Amino acid sequence: MNTMKTLLLMALLTGIMVAVGGAVGGSSGASLMLVISLAMNFGTYWFSAPMVLRSYGAQEIAREDAPELYGLIESLAQRAGLPMPTVAVIESDVPNAFATGRNPEHAAVAVTTGILRVLNYEELSGVLAHELTHVKNRDILTSSIAAAMAGVISWTAQMAFFFGGRSDDDDGGGLGGLVTILLAPIAAGLIQMAISRSREYAADEGGGSLCGNPRYRYLAKALEKLDYYAKHGDVMQDATPATAHMFIINPFEGVGSKIANLYSTHPATEDRIARLNEQARRIGR
């Protein structure tokens, strides 16, 4: 199912990019954007993990750099029947985490220094189990491609604004370019929402089960803390709306920006916590 979603997403976003190119530069613009989109599809499939990690300045670590963190991920990966992913740390006081890559054999899990500071061992295990569930469910390729393509669409829309968006083939191309500027981010946001909300619930459930006993409490407590910091702390440096869906908590949770809200892909944290607590009660009974 995720493979089909990924293919549909690539095809749909390629179509949007070609439409943007056509509105900005006519047939030559559409052809150029088709070539770019095909190159992007190839690049994001093979190099999605390093691209995303590099964009956030994440540094890959070995066991000797952070033995407790590395050992925890290794233990959870073994419990989930997964290969050991690349482990990376982002220098940021904002607590958050994400997983990326094209498949479980080429996956990476990244955490911020902030999350290592504010969560205890059990809560961190819940977060990491959530991310490894995304890996196991093969959500990570779809997320990485959505992030890369949505970023390019937004960039192209901005270029259309600066260069006028006039088509060689149509005297009304200027208006078409303006419409594209308005619709491209909306289309990207809607696509991300369509592929992300149910997946977060599934990763919560799988992560809550994976991280140990009491199974669901660890992750629920972690989400409470992360939600507080997201709403009352600073926005992570280098965070973009196009990549917000990759994190366990939306890094723009506390920002009232229309663009940030447009790209919101996470269910309400309160709903996620309520589901986890209900699952914990059922397990307890």
Average pLDDT of span 49-62: 91
Average pLDDT, the chain: 81
38/194: higher pLDDT = 38
Q: Which of 156, 203, 130 is nearest to 14 (CA)?
A: 156
Mean pLDDT of 10-15: 75
Tokens linked to 193: 């929402």
State residue 66's pLDDT score: 96
Model's pTM, two decimal places? 0.82
Least confident of 2-6, 95-99, 167-171, 186-190: 167-171
Contact 86, 110 (CB under 8 A): no
Average pLDDT of the residues in 148-156: 65
Each residue's pLDDT tens digit, 232-257: 888 888 887 778 888 999 888 877 65
Residues whose CB falls within 8 Å of the CB of residue 285, separated by 6 or more in sequence, listed in order: none
Q: Which residues are catalytic?
A: 131
In DSSP terms, 90 is beta-bridged to 112
Would the pLDDT of 86 be above 50?
yes
